[in-house]
Structure 1
Amino acid sequence: MGCDRNCGLITGAVIGAILAVFGGILMPVGDTLIQKTIKKEVVLEEGTTAFKNWVKTGTEIYRQFWIFDVQNPEEVMMNSSNIQVKQRGPYTYRVRFLAKENITQDPKDNTVSFLQPNGAIFEPSLSVGTEADNFTVLNLAVAAAAHIYPNPFVQVVLNSLINKSKSSMFQVRTLRELLWGYTDPFLSLVPYPVTTRVGMFYPYNNTADGVYKVFNGKDSISKVAIIDTYKGKRSIYAVFESDVNLKGIPVYRFVLPSKAFASPVQNPDNHCFCTEKIISKNCTSSGVLDISKCKEGKPVYISLPHFLYASPDVSETTDGLNPNEEEHRTYLDIEPITGFTLQFAKRLQINLLVKPSNKIQVLKRLKRNYIVPILWLNETGTIGDEKAKMFRSQVTGKINLLGLIEMILLSVGVVMFVAFMISYCACRSKPIK
């Protein structure tokens, strides 16, 4: 009788130990199995679920524009006053709905390169007005011509053409013209061959952006679709900020740090963006990056909206800006197991440099340099409710279920082992009658 009782208690303890050990083993083994299963479908190669969704995304991506409408153009031209701007927007377009092209795998570094065809469809229901809305903005051709051609004699010729075309430092343009292009009256008079069409994103439709080079995830799924290079050069980076719950899916939020727009003095990696020594205070100003080399010499500067993170001297010539992190920073929400970006907000401001010119009448009264904000954009995308539900069931749901099973086995096993061992020891200490 005593043997039966003790044997039963020992058997229960052994079963508990087995369950606990099994639960403990299942943690690394089960996680590895799920990782392998997921990896097969999330790498960017022909035949995987991820590749099909990546080539042509099913998520709707929107690009919102806010235009800086200049309120005092005459005061600026005549008295070199601060530019007073009023933000108007959003004007929303659907973008990135076309399938990627020229997709090429590179097995040497586990990357895939591609071109992203450009297309934009105006969304009236998500906009404050129409594409025919008018704005007073900087004259793009006049500002760029004075910068591209610093020679005094050439500027005298340009001045006569500017006057003849009745062009000025500022102009009134519709949203459609400003974004996608218009025939400029001043450039139309230039005797030698030049592009007479001007626009912040001209040309756009029926063109392609890239070449992009992204990681395919074969060596590490945490790097899936992360940009390695863009047009063969360094891409801007993001840093981890916090854990976020997105529609029931745990994600990591990465943000664009202020250091990415810091001066070369603070961040030597940005030395190639400082080519204009005057406007950047000998490369000590922060918050703007000179991308004129990418824009055929046009004096284009990019920044975060409302000059977020910029040094005070950058915005000292402009009134009406109100930078804040919540509205104007860039972030990515990345699911850590698959490496997928499930939500993002890419925010960027486009500015043009204007300098005084003694030979061009409409710029003659300026007494200082201006970095003039033209517009800022917010390109956003969020995983849809249906895809989030599918993601929860096929990825996070399986992982959570496995974790629950592991914890139940481990907990039940430990409790059984301890309880039966205590009972066994207690019974052994009692004499059998």
Structure 2
Amino acid sequence: MGCCNWRCGLITGAVFGALVAILGGVLIPVGDILIESVVETEAVIEPGTTAYDNWAAAGVVVYRQFWFFDVQNPIEVLNYGTSPVVIERGPYTYKTRYLPKDNIMFNPNMTVSFVLPLGAIFEPSMSAGSEEDKITSLNLAVAFHGLLETLIRMSNSSLFQRRTVKELLWGYHDPLLKSTLGLFAPYNGTFDGPYNVFTGKDDISKVGIIDRWKGEKKEKKTFHVAVFFSDASAFAPGLDKKKPLYFFSSDICRSVSASYERSYSLKDIEVYRYGLLPSTLASPIDNPDNRCFCRNFKTTKNCTMAGVLDLSSCQEGRPIYMSLPHFLHGSPSLLTDVLGLSPNEEHHSTYLDVEPNTGFTLKFAKRIQVNMMYGPSDKITVLKKVKDYTIFPLVWMNETAELDDQTADLFKEELVSRMEMLDIIQWVLLGTGTGIFVLCLVSYVVSRSNNSPKFQKWLQLPC
């Protein structure tokens, strides 16, 4: 009777262990579904969700660091047509994108419209000098080739000028054009947009995707706003390493794509790092999508030049060219036309660090360089010695942000810790259940073997 009860107990234990193991196994897909459901609910851009609270507010402060290219030989360039020699000056750091979104309005087509107020506050503690530091740089007015020689002479203008950091960035009164000129003028008190982005309420895969920018609808491409909660929308949850991410930058009036590079831990949170695809700034011959950014056959060597995009159509006709800092990934001629540049992948590349489950970008660095073109002219004295068309680097900037420790702790508490706890529970149940099942099953088999006639006879044999 005792043996029977013992065996029944082992059978019951084996069944219990099997059930526990099955529960642990079932929890793995069920738990993933539950987590995915919660993440998708909180990722929708609508009042009351985690995504909306971070999206609508100013959030983490974004900084823009500027490095200027200071010309060392302006006289030689003017008199003998030699190549400009530059040295890098900076960084000069400003706090930007610190204002919350404005004019937020939800639309019937599951989009939300808004504008991004723009402002810049100088941060002396993060800068290499003051806003009053002077830089010798290209004269923005003379770079416009349609100007008359008489105007240049009357205003005593030259190919190069010496201006303060503040003037070059945010504007100064130009005696030649009798108007305000500046690389980013006007900026303070203006806004970017309006934007229309999908909320993701009807389709979470569309969350943050731009429907319209400044009233223009994008039909041919999939666009994302340059991502960070204080800047714009997040990517759709559940990233696939094999698929590139698309995001939009209003600074260059276009979208770009980034591919997965590696995974690493950012403040104990696993993130995927995405970098710009090599084709982003390729010549139109190698990347036909860039053909619209090649408008001048002389300056781009019949559109064979890599590394620069002509943004004149997006910058009110100004001869602005965008590149990566120090012409990273650009044609070799860019580094011989202007001397003193040293492209470096680590310091000059653009990247996004994205948490894969939520699609939230937790850190980013957007690095771009602003260039202008000048070339030879028989009519303008200051350009007569110039031998060839030159794409001249004015300034490069690093727009960067990273979640702070408090936000990281909150993120880990609300999401990561719960996912880890559920994962632990799943594997503990699976492991414990399997262990109990195997132990009881083995014990039962041994018990049955111990009570067999052969086993009992073997025990009675003399030593």
Equivalent residue, structure 2, for 1:292: 312
Give the CA deviation at 1:209: 1.1
Who is 1:62 aligned against? Answer: 63
How far did 1:224 drift? 4.3
Give the CA deviation at 1:113.
3.6
Q: Secondary structure at the match of 1:82?
A: coil
What secondary structure does 1:177 align onto? helix
Name the amino acid aligned to 1:128.
A
Match of 1:206 in 2: 189
Counterpart contact for 2:67–2:92, Cα < 8 Å: yes
Counterpart contact for 1:224–1:339, Cα < 8 Å: no
Deviation, structure 1 residue 41? 2.2
Match of 2:87, SS? strand
Aligned residues: 415
SS at match of 2:52: helix
CA contact (8 A) 1:224 1:340 kept: no
Higher share of residues assigned helix: 1
Cα RMSD after superposing both structures = 1.7
2-side partners of 1:223 and 1:323: how far apart?
36
Query: Within 5 A, what are the aligned runs for 1:234-383?
Result: 234-383=254-403
Query: In structure 1, what is the equivalent of residue 449 of structure 2?
Result: 429
What's the % identity of the aligned pairs? 52
Rounded Cα–Cα distance in structure 2 between residues aligned with 1:214 and 1:229? 7
Alpha carbons 2:58, 2:101 under 8 Å: kept: no
1:409 aligns with 2:429: yes
1:362-403 per-position Cα deviation (integer Å, ceiling 9, x unaligned): 111111011000000000100000010010111011001100
Given candidates 171, 182, 186, the residue that maps to 1:181 is: 171
Counterpart position of 1:83: 84
Supply the distance in 2 between the matched residues of 1:84 and 1:228 (Cα, whole angstroms).
44
SS in 2 for 1:211: strand
Q: CA deviation at 1:42?
A: 2.3
Cα deviation 1:27-52 (Å, max 9, x = unaligned): 11122222222322221112222212
Q: Which residue of 2 aligns with 1:140?
A: 140
Which SS does the other structure have where 2:274 is aligned? Answer: strand
| Structure 1 gap ranges (5+) | 150-154, 189-195
Alignment partner, residue 7 of structure 1 = 8
CA shift digits 1:197-236 (9 cap, x unpaired): 0000000011111233444343665664455665445511
Query: What SS is found at the alignment partner of 1:92?
Result: strand
Task: Give the counterpart letter for 2:41 in structure 1.
Answer: K
Whether 2:134 is the aligned partner of 1:114: answer no
The 5 Å alignment of 1:37-76 reads 37-76=38-77
Long gaps (5+) in structure 2: 219-253, 457-463
Aligned residue for 2:157?
167
Q: Secondary structure at the match of 1:238?
A: strand
Range 169-178 or range 54-63, more displaced: 54-63
Match of 2:85, SS?
strand
Of structures 1 and 2, the one scoring higher in RCO (CA 8 A, sep 6+) is 1
Matched-pair contact (CA < 8 Å) for 1:242–1:252:
yes
Please give the alpha-carbon distance, in whole angstroms, between the structure 1 residues aligned to 2:268 and 2:204: 21
8 Å Cα contact 2:352/2:363 also seen in 1 = yes
Please say if residues 237 and 256 of structure 1, whose CA atoms lie closer than 8 Å, have aligned partners that are also in contact.
Answer: yes
- CA 243–334 in structure 1, closer or farther in 2 if over 3 Å, else same: same
CA distance in 2, matches of 1:217, 1:180: 37
8 Å contact from structure 1 (residues 136, 172) kept in 2: yes
Aligned mates of 1:267, 1:419 — CA distance in 2:
63
CA distance in 2 between counterparts of 1:239 and 1:227 reads: 20
CA deviation digits over 1:13-36, x for unaligned, max 9?
111111111111111112222222
Other structure's SS at 2:336 match: coil
TM-score by structure 1 length?
Answer: 0.92
Residues 139-163 of structure 1 show CA distances to partners (whole Å, capped at 9, x for unaligned) of 001102x1xx2xxxxx5xx111111
Q: Quick one: which amino acid aligns to residue 201 of structure 2? A: K
C-alpha distance in structure 2 between counterparts of 1:342 and 1:111, whole Å: 24
